[in-house]
Structure 1
Amino acid sequence: MKILIVDDEVIIRTGLCTVINWKELGLELLPPASSAEEALERIPVEKPHIVLTDIRMSGMDGIELARVVKGMLPDTEIVILTGYDDFGYAQQALREGVTDYLLKTSRPEEIIKAALKAKQNIMDKWESMKQDNLQQAALRNQLLDRALQRGVQDDPEGRAQLCYWFHKRRVNVQEQSESPAPMQVLLVSVSGWGQAPFTGLLQGAAENILFELLPCVTLMNKDHLLLVVRVEAGEAEHSGLKRAIKRVTDTLKCVAFTAVGSVALDYESLRESYRTAKEIFAYRGLLGTQGLYTEEDIRERSGGRTVCTEKEEAELTAILMSDNATELRHWVNQKVRALLEDTTATPVSVQGYLHSMIITGRRWLERARASQAKTIPVEALPSFEGDSRPEEEVFKSLSAVMTSFHQGLGQNRYAYIHKSIAYIRDNLDQAISLQQVARFVHVNPNHFSEVFKRETGCTYIEFVTQERIKRAIDILQSSQTKVSDVARRVGYEDIKYFTQQFKKYTGRTPSEFRQGSKD
């Protein structure tokens, strides 16, 4: 906050500048002015918040100076210095808007008191303006939200307020026949300054620049700016928007992703413009982290695949079994990168595939832990939106699955038996011998066979057969896969032998079992 001292007597000017430590009072002391005329030349540039001036000066006096300053800067606080003979004159000055007056014989503490009173008046005005701005912002947010979500067809005062904001002029609430200029909703995300609190600072700076350059109303949301921009007639398509966004990125050294909604010809159409802008904004990451995008850029995207293939499931379960975090991260990064580069992908298909990866890992943990008799906690699937790094979220979820399984093994005396069971369940479509499994868990085959039977209650062959029949039952109940294909998926090349084993354990052939499940 700045203070300017005006007096034509050098002794008074010097005394006021040196006797009081203005900096300690929170005031920046400007170079003093030796006349009202000099002060008036400097005030428009230096814009002091407080002016401390003598009444009687050669040339323009303090009262006239106060009147002119109040005309230029109405919020400036003015304190005058007066002699005993000027007392009535000083009272007149108070009626002219002067904040306070002091006798030239006043002690320093009295001058300090008057300066602090003027400072407090200014701070009170600032606080009042701040509260007014907050109330206006809250009203604007509320009204814009209503217009974008539900419309304002039944709110004439709301329509008039929108018209004032958008076109910088007041419109009578009865002027319902007047059509507003075309508008568009923009969603703008800026990045490049790191994490909070810098993201908020960057958004605020971008908002200020865009507000100055575009005929718009702006709102700041958590991860983006919302702008309702008036479409300027005769301007090449989006040229003004592109210039404004370029100014933001060049000035702030950042990148910006801008989703441009459809053109709205009235306030009711703003809802559709907002909907299309949100739809385009959801492609952030798929389209890139910067650029200006419209509906045209997403129209041809039909959606990529949404589930993992059997081969990918086998790859993932093998990695989870190996307890190799580096290999898991490499696999996840590779799959996510390929997913995001798919030119047919949509936010829905991407989210579906990423969830499929996580669900595959959780299903594996459920199968692997079945022999450990542990409860599997159910956690919500992560949401992949905005600036989040999907590969990090997927890796974190799958890494937790892998850690959970191997920590559980470490708490069991015969952990290798549970690890072998998980391995068997992951490879039921293969010819898996006892020797192969014993080698996988680094145990002597004879010892493995003995401990396996003691821990599971059945021989290795009996266990593998039971698991294969259980898997076959799941496939028959959940799909229309041919019986011959079911047999191959659970490790039987000989369909007749598969049918015999299936009937031995269930009392029915696979076809009879499937038919009975339908009845």
Structure 2
Amino acid sequence: MYRLLIVDNEPFIVESVLDLFERQAIPELELLSAYSSAEALGCMRTVKIDIVLSDIRMPGMNGLELHREIIKYWPRCKVIFLTGYNDFDYIHEAMRNGGVDYLLKTEGEEAIVASVQKALTALSEAVEAEAYIAKSKQQMQAMTPLLQKELLMELVQGGSLANGALSRSFEEADIELDPTKPVVAMIGRIDNWKEDTRPFDKSLYLFAIQNIAKEYLAAKVQFISFDFERKTKLLWLIQPEEQTGTLSAAELAELEQRCLIFLKGTAEMMQDSCSVLLKLNLSIAIGASFKAWERISEQFEHLQQLLNRGLGLSQQLLLIEPTITITSADQIEHDQRKQLKKLNLLHTLLENGQKEQFMAEYVGIMTALTECAAAKNAIKTEVYFTLVSIFLSYINRWEVQSEVGGRVNLGKMTALDCHDNWKEVVDYFYKLAEALFEHKQAGKGNQEHDVIRMVQRYVQQNLAGDLTLNRIGDVVGHNPSYLSRLYKQVTNEGLSDYIMTARLAKTKELLEENRLKIHEISTSVGFLSEQSFFRFFRKALQMTPQEYRDSVVMSRNASAK
């Protein structure tokens, strides 16, 4: 949606140009008008203006002054000046700034329409996808650390990508580690944040710790690091610096062992430096071996357990992951716990109303637990009450107990023993999710129709007033462009079409009452000139307003006889 502002101190010219563009009926163009430069600037202070069509010589402010003020507010605005032959030198300076065109007043309507269409094309081309993509790439460079963190945290928490997709993701996020080679994890924990340490100071300390680690690690290994768990921990993912592609299995094993020995010694130096330089106690847990990327989540979980219980609760520790044999039962439990971590995503999808993705994720999680005969009851119980927390929080926050309770027995939600088996649990939460999404969709539809009714009521009550999209948007509290799309989507009719239909209906009603003069009716239904009003009426009914009035009178007289 673009806005065209027509500016001239001659009302006849403004109304003629308005009439011209009303006849053109350009869907993406909203028309505004001003009868002085001051009025035009007042308009610009309240709404975005895309094109200004203006006389170049007006009382109070000349074209150059107007143009300078326009670009202060809306730098992308295209300005079209109406000019006489002796104004060429005058507008030459304005054209140096770009975005300025001019028309001779003698060129006629076709030239005016063509110039505005040219401006519309230029505005559209300025926001083509290519430009946005180029700008987005620049912005993404600044966001690279965040993108890296999101991708790698997804991996270490159990997410998975096909090898090709992983390589592509590493390239896009500018991660220098090799997605095809094994990696080892190292976790650092700040043991003693002082109570008065501000979030900004924590960020500085974490950055300092990463710099200390870089000083020690960079000579021997490649790595990437970032903080997690609310600035209490740091994760390093590490690979050997040497090229490993031509090494034999024995040589590779020896290299990895040397690297692990180096990490243990380096970790001690990192702890000493943090204690002396930063006055912080840093505990570190290091993986016992290099893992393929698809298994790094197992090591991450083990290191977390080392730091979160038992001896790991002490300070300034250096812990090495125990070398253990992973049994099939261990692997099963790990896979089940991966499903647990996905439950947080369900909460987000429910809140956002993303039904299809929610159902797909839910079915995937529950199927993984259902098909595993060895699934632990403790994990199933944890999944059950996590789901209870997600659904109960949503139901209470939005107060939908009565609406949803009519379809699903909410009393069974918090009582696991009310369900005979796990399949019944799966079916119960599936039906509950369906009921919540249907209620959410119905609420969305009701709100949309409420907005449409507000719009239509305002139009009916203000046919003679301001019915610009911007004004209607202000009244109903929605962005004008969104409101236009919403109206079309819900009613299958453009808002401008509805306004014209309402004006026509009111015009016919007033003509049939036969109380007001034609020019009074024209004003009462919002037309700036009788010329526009006559053209509108003839186009709609193939007769003039007076002819319509006469036909109504004749019909009544004939009925009376």
Provide the TM-score with structure 2 as the length reference: 0.32
Q: Whose helix proportion is higher, 1 or 2?
A: 2
Higher relative contact order at CA 8 Å, sep ≥6: structure 1 or structure 2?
2
Which has the larger Rg? 1
Provide the TM-score with structure 1 as the length reference: 0.34
